[in-house]
Chains A and B, each alone.
Chain A
Amino acid sequence: MISCVRAVGLACVLVAAGLALSKARADELTALGLPPDQGREEVEAYCSGCHSLKLVVQQGLSQEAWDELLDWMIEEQEMEPMEAVDRNLVLDYLSKHLSIEAVRARRKQR
């Protein structure tokens, strides 16, 4: 099994090298509930190392709660600490697209 740490590391390299998501993958992410925006590639890279993005898109949290969740994953769940610039991108993306309001709106469509 590829360890989470390695998978995240690999993804970071790809992002750092400026390799944008393929069109097909970008469409998959949009369909999953992660619309195109700044930070989406970082979300995919960091979050899918250990668990499915399906777990991410089920959530609707405040920025504070997302921040605490990242701390919990780093402190207790073996997630590699993130560079500040990446952490901010991830946090901004999650807080904007998977906010309490966003999940409320999505629930009403089902």
Chain B
Amino acid sequence: MAADKIPGLFELYDKDADQADRLLFGRVARPDRRGFLRGAGLTTMSAMVGAAIPFARHMPSGFIPVALAESSVIEGKDGLTLLNDRPLNAETPPHLLADAITPTNRHFIRNNGIPPENTSPDGWSLTIDGLVDKPMTLSIDDLKSKFDVVTAALTIECGGNGRSFFDPPAKGNQWTLGAVACSEWTGVRLADVLKAAGVKDNAVYTAHVSADAHLSGKEGKLAISRGVPIAKAMDPNNLIAFAQNGAAMHPMNGAPLRLVVPGWPGSCSQKWLTRVWLRDQVHDGPKMTGKAYRVPNHPVEPGEKVAKTDFEIIHAMPVKSLITAPESGYASADGKVAVAGHAWAGDDAVARVDLSVDFGASWIAATLDQPANPYAWQNFSATLSLPKKGYYEVWARATSDKGVAQPHAIAWNPKGYLNNSMHRIAVRYA
């Protein structure tokens, strides 16, 4: 083989993982699919990750250590990774999401269109109409004076968070881990406003309309208009919010007025909100139809073609967790690792978070806080002890109060939604 034709590590693994194991590391798969690393191979892999691998015997065959697979400037935001500048989409690296309440400058941005130029609260109005007894048009001052004003920490996660790990790749912004946040939002309850307008018996769905423009610039064309079933809309935890973390909302997070419908895909939380109308059918606005924010109604093979009629609208987001400390790549001098992060579970609460340092062979329960309020993410922490010097991965697995845990692998779907597979970080005891 010519020198310039030597295939790379990942190329070999793509072709035939078992053969690559034998070629590169002398690793032979055992019947239980755990890898068997022999002397020279183990030395090679250890050299590549920069340390011995004490739990190498637990590594699955064909498994590539995450250490080998890893490696903007927006006004009012700090440290976000820019995915796209038109429309603007930016996510936050996990270690910058360590705060229990996400500061405004660390909250991700997911735009579908061109935001309005004028985001002043003066003169902004919200119309409630459609299947209501009394259609209303309200200023932000009207909302503040006529309804209870409440503040809550609410988790918002983009439906496509984690899409970049899909293989075959899925279309769209290639979010990694950081399209999730839990800021404190202040506003009035959506349910209170809808009750004041009087929800008619035949209303089944909301339709949300906003002031951002379609990317084409076409007059009157909406970039996105999603909605939720009336039962979800009447949940008292949804807000029509006008403040973020006790101050003005960031313009890219929807100032001056937005919905916060926590626990469901972020797209249900329409930014720059101007109208909520109630309909007697499932809303069919842009990004409600086709395959947008929909997943197959049955498990599918990665890459499989799925009939359009087999797609269903995503409701609650799945149970998930994020390790925010230490940052992946951390080196411990004494074998202790202080691990912290957050966990959330759509409409449910998180019952437990477990951590592993041996590729999932054994698990240690983390200390898990109660949520600050319903739909706030829950903080977890633990101090882990690594038994000897070497390369480790910390894996986090949250389990909901319904007993549903995060999976190891991605439940692949054509549009790349709902990736709640476990977050892994690389740690060395050097």
Contacts and interface: CB of A to CB of B under 8 A. Distances in A.
A52 B173 CA distance: 11
Given A51-B84, A108-B10, A108-B69, A61 B215 contact: no
Nearest to B305: A64
Given A52-B86, A69-B171, A110 B70 contact: yes
A50 B84 contact: no
A51 B217 contact: no
Contacts of A51: 84, 86-87, 215
Contacts of A2: 217
Interface stretch (A14-22, A23-31, A99-107): A99-107
B168 interface: yes
B86 A78 contact: no
A85 interface: no
B216 A78 contact: yes
Contacts of A104: 10, 14, 167, 169
Given A55-B84, A58-B84, A3 B218 contact: yes
What's the interface size class on B, roughly? 20 to 34
A13 interface: no
A2 B9 CA distance: 47
Interface string A62-79: 100100010000000111
A54 B86 CA distance: 8
A78 B83 contact: no
Nearest to A6: B217
Contacts of A79: 216
A65 to B, nearest CB: 7
A55 B168 CA distance: 17
A79 B87 CA distance: 16
Contact of A58 (B87, B173, B221): B173
B245 interface: no
B125 interface: no
B164 interface: yes
A1 interface: yes
Contact of A54 (B85, B114, B168): B85
Contacts of B217: 1-5, 50
Interface in B209-227: 213-218, 221
Interface in B117-176: 164, 167-169, 171, 173-174
What's the interface size class on A, roughly? 20 to 34
A102 B86 CA distance: 23
B216 A77 contact: yes
Contacts, number: 72
B8 interface: yes
A59 B70 contact: no
A4 B10 contact: no
Nearest to B87: A51
Contacts of A61: 169, 171
Contacts of A58: 83-84, 173-174
B215 A50 contact: yes
Interface in A40-96: 50-52, 54-55, 58-62, 65, 69, 77-79
A6 to B, nearest CB: 9
Interface string B67-108: 001110000000000111111000000000000000000000
A75 B14 CA distance: 36
Given A51-B84, A60-B169, A108-B8, A1 B14 contact: no
A52 B168 contact: no
A101 B217 CA distance: 34
A14 to B, nearest CB: 19
Contacts of B169: 59-61, 100, 103-104
Contacts of B69: 108, 110
A33 to B, nearest CB: 12
Nearest to A5: B216
Interface in B1-28: 8-11, 14
Contacts of B71: 109-110
12 contacts: A4-B218, A50-B215, A50-B217, A51-B87, A52-B87, A55-B86, A60-B168, A69-B171, A78-B214, A78-B218, A110-B69, A110-B70
Given A52-B86, A100-B168, A100-B169, 19 more contacts: A3-B217, A3-B218, A4-B215, A4-B216, A4-B217, A51-B84, A51-B87, A54-B85, A55-B84, A58-B83, A58-B173, A60-B168, A61-B169, A61-B171, A77-B215, A79-B216, A104-B10, A104-B167, A107-B164
Interface of A: 1-5, 50-52, 54-55, 58-62, 65, 69, 77-79, 100, 103-105, 107-110
